[in-house]
Amino acid sequence: MTLSILWFILIAVLWIGYLTLEGFDFGVGMILKILGRDERERRATLAAIGPHWDGNEVWLLTAGGATFAAFPEWYSTLFSGAYIVLFIILLCLIVRVCAIEWRPKVNSQTWRDRWDWVHTVSAWLPSILWGVAFANLVQGMHIEVVQTSNGAVVPAAQVPADSLVPGAAHQITGGLLTMVTPFTLLGGAVTCLLFLNHGALFVALKTTGDLSQRALRMSRRLAPAATAVTATWALWAQLAYSGSALSWIPLVIAAAGLVSSLLMGRTGNEGRAFALHFVGIAFAVVFIFAAMAPNVMRSSVDPAYSLTIQQAASADTTLLIMTVAAAVFVPGVLAYTVWSYKVFASRISVESINPDQGGLHPTLVRDSAQPEAHFGY
């Protein structure tokens, strides 16, 4: 039981890493066409996340892999029941990679503009859907325990609290529409606004001149709405769905971080504003996991159908091996992450960017007729 709780906490840490770091990547993509007035500013905006965005995605892969290994029942229940939502998120992440990597390949403004729009859309959708997904974990989903042989629902009175039912599995039986409620939609608005503000603060921190100032002004407009919507959702979650008084602690810390970030942004200190906003998002994730506990997936049908930490966990031997591996490798990963941000800590100057440089001229793009001639082979 101690190891399963430890891995529940470690998975929360992995999601903190993903949402705090990838959050500003999504935010930058969301404001790319709004903030960047010309090609130079859009390149500077993308350059701000250029060294980091692909590394930030590793946190998601690690969180998914750790869930699969440490809590296979959680993984199977969530990924099979919310398959469509998770598929859309995955598709957006793949398309976003194409948009970032292919944008500079052709020296054509039309080409770049099209990929910028693809990037923007593929940033907005996951930013909303992640909030909807986590709100469902807090609210509870239409989960029942179903016999795998015939699909019959096991009566709630026959489901033990500390183990799985032999020959049965937890399943999301309500369909996709049961996941769409006012509470989950508000959760989508929370992550959307937080990521928007996170991205604006990151651009303000990483660029110079007018672009940095406009990003900071954008954050000043976004921060009150993001803080108010997050506070509304968190209080709703705590009062209606959280079964633990301890979840008030991360809720208060998250609120303090977001409010302090708002105040720092108004004083023009974008560095402290970003750091405090980082803390606010981190403790919002802590609040979500604290509100979920002791369940990994709460059932809205009957509490007896909820999937608990103990029920979902792998064998102690598996968890022990994972713990040893994490103790060996995680410090190195964290050290490398910190080092990479330190190396690329300098600000980006819009004036240093040549908008006419980079990529193949459209007339040199390979066609099916003479590929060797076009690429100079």
Q: What is the pLDDT of residues 42-93, one digit of tens each?
A: 999 999 998 899 889 999 999 999 999 999 999 999 988 888 999 999 999 9
Beta bridge partners of 145: 170
Q: What is the pLDDT of residue 377?
A: 29
Q: What is the pLDDT of residue 354?
A: 79
This prediction has a pTM of 0.92
Q: What is the DSSP letter of 155?
A: P
Nearest to 26 by CA among 56, 59, 65, 62: 56
Element housing 56 (H / E): helix 53-56
Nearest to 115 by CA among 128, 126, 106: 106
Q: What is the pLDDT of residue 82?
A: 86
Give the SS3 label for residue 2: helix
- Identify whether the C-beta of residue 7 lies closer than 8 Å to the C-beta of residue 70: yes
Q: What is the pLDDT of residue 375?
A: 34
As a whole number of angstroms, the distance between CA 262 and CA 230 comes to 13
**Residue ranges in the chain whose pLDDT is less than 50:** 368-377
User: How many helices and strands, by DSSP H and E, does the chain display?
Assistant: 14, 4
Q: How many CB atoms lie within 10 A of CB 353?
A: 16
Q: What is the pLDDT of residue 149?
A: 87
Nearest to 62 by CA among 73, 50, 70, 52: 70
Q: What is the pLDDT of residue 36?
A: 87
As a whole number of angstroms, the distance between CA 297 and CA 74 comes to 7
Q: At what angle do helices 270-292 and 248-266 cross, to 10 degrees?
A: 160
Q: What is the pLDDT of residue 1?
A: 67
